[in-house]
Structure 1
Amino acid sequence: MSQPQPAERVDFFEWAWKHKLMMLPIVLALMLSVCGGVVGMIYISALSGVRENPLHREAVTIASENEQVRKALGEPMAGGFIESGTINIDEEAQFGSADIEIPISGPLGRGRLIVEGKLAEGNWSVEKLTASLENGQVIPLVDEKIKADKAAAEKAEAEKAETNNVDAENADADETANSDPVAQESEQLDSE
């Protein structure tokens, strides 16, 4: 009985060289897939950096805290990537401005945030913020007037607190003067 001969081992590279035309589409598809994956990863990482922008985060937070927006869109609410607008930044001076639109969505609907912001000394602040919902409703969230009213209220509270501190200091001084018997005697003598 003769033993079966082992199958001839075919080297892959040898086979591929012989069948070049069949290998060409496979190699091209592989190269295209790798390049597409790299470009996709770069794109996704760049856009995730935009979501971490303090102006984006603050605008979405303000919108999600607003009762009207929560009622119209439902919870949880999420902000998407910046759709359009401009962001101008002077990196050296740490100043800039932004005028952007951010899509927002929740289980009950969608909308977009129209944001105007300023960068001063490295810190972003929302100057104007409006929510435009798909049902046609427009909700001003932050406005120059609202910010001015809030600043005036904070200033009034600070002045009131300062006045209360001065009154408390005067009351303490009066108590100190009234508790000193020598000072009371000298006041009586002065009045006579």
Structure 2
Amino acid sequence: MNAMPPPLPTSHSRGWWSRHWKWAVPLLSALLLALFAGVILLFMSTLLGMMKSSDAYQQALREAKANPAVVQALGEPIEEGWFMMGNISVNGPSGKANLQIPISGPKGEGDIYLEATKSAGQWNYSTLLVRVDGSDRPIDLLPAQTQ
């Protein structure tokens, strides 16, 4: 008697997705989340970079670093913080700025507050002061004749 073995069950060939979806879905989700976060960070850093390169920002920072009362309160070197708040709107030779710029030194921290308008290419400050953390008295950075 020559008995033939029963035929082997045929394996149904499953596709790649049906074999690997359990780890592919979390991985793709994490990649999409990382991509979204990267786009947001790129947008924020570009926006902050543009604001930090503005004349109003740079001039306010120079004034604070050159002011003896600010240097005495914060120490040297005075460094600007990474994240600032406010807005700048410039349209050719005119514009407006309203900013809060964090600064710090070896002795403490504070914020520069500025409000300015730009006319004929020149920034005119209505407010330019530093508030040092822990102090009730702001340090006015505007020259006496412009107040």
Normalising by structure 1, what TM-score? 0.60
Q: Name the structure with the higher helix share.
A: 1
Give the Cα separation in 2 of the matches to 1:20 and 1:125: 61
2:114 corresponds to = 115
Structure 1 residues 58 and 15: alpha-carbon distance in aligned structure 2, compared to 1, 3 A threshold: same
1:141 corresponds to = 141
Contact 1:100–1:115 (CA under 8 A) maintained in structure 2: yes
Which residue identity is paired with 1:23? Answer: A
Structure of greater relative contact order (alpha carbons < 8 Å, 6+ residues apart):
2
Give the Cα separation in 2 of the matches to 1:99 and 1:50: 11
Per-residue CA deviation, residues 126-148 of structure 1 (Å, 9 max, x unaligned), is: 343111111213211105x3337
Q: Name the structure with the higher strand share.
A: 2
- Shift of residue 15, structure 1, vs aligned partner: 4.2
1:30 corresponds to = 31
Per-residue CA deviation, residues 142-167 of structure 1 (Å, 9 max, x unaligned), is: 05x3337xxxxxxxxxxxxxxxxxxx
1:124 corresponds to = 123
1:9 corresponds to = none
Contact 1:104–1:110 (CA under 8 A) maintained in structure 2: yes
Aligned length: 131
Structure 1 portions without partners, runs of 5+: 1-13, 149-192
Contact 2:51–2:88 (CA under 8 A) maintained in structure 1: no
Contact 1:58–1:126 (CA under 8 A) maintained in structure 2: no
Normalising by structure 2, what TM-score? 0.76
Which residue identity is paired with 1:147? Answer: T
Alignment of 1:75-86 (within 5 A): 75-80=76-81, 81-84=83-86, 86=87
| Identical columns (%) | 28
Give the Cα separation in 1 of the matches to 2:38 and 2:89: 30
Structure 2 portions without partners, runs of 5+: 1-14
Contact 2:113–2:130 (CA under 8 A) maintained in structure 1: yes
Give the Cα separation in 2 of the matches to 1:27 and 1:36: 14
Alignment of 1:4-43 (within 5 A): 14-43=15-44
- Shift of residue 69, structure 1, vs aligned partner: 0.5
- Shift of residue 65, structure 1, vs aligned partner: 0.3
Q: Does the residue aligned with 1:112 lie in a helix, a strand or coil? A: strand
Structure 1 residues 88 and 26: alpha-carbon distance in aligned structure 2, compared to 1, 3 A threshold: closer
Contact 1:96–1:120 (CA under 8 A) maintained in structure 2: yes
CA RMSD in angstroms comes to 2.2
- Shift of residue 46, structure 1, vs aligned partner: 1.1
Per-residue CA deviation, residues 98-133 of structure 1 (Å, 9 max, x unaligned), is: 333222111211111121212012332434311111
Which residue identity is paired with 1:97? Answer: K
Q: Does the residue aligned with 1:57 lie in a helix, a strand or coil? A: helix
Q: Does the residue aligned with 1:113 lie in a helix, a strand or coil? A: strand
1:171 corresponds to = none
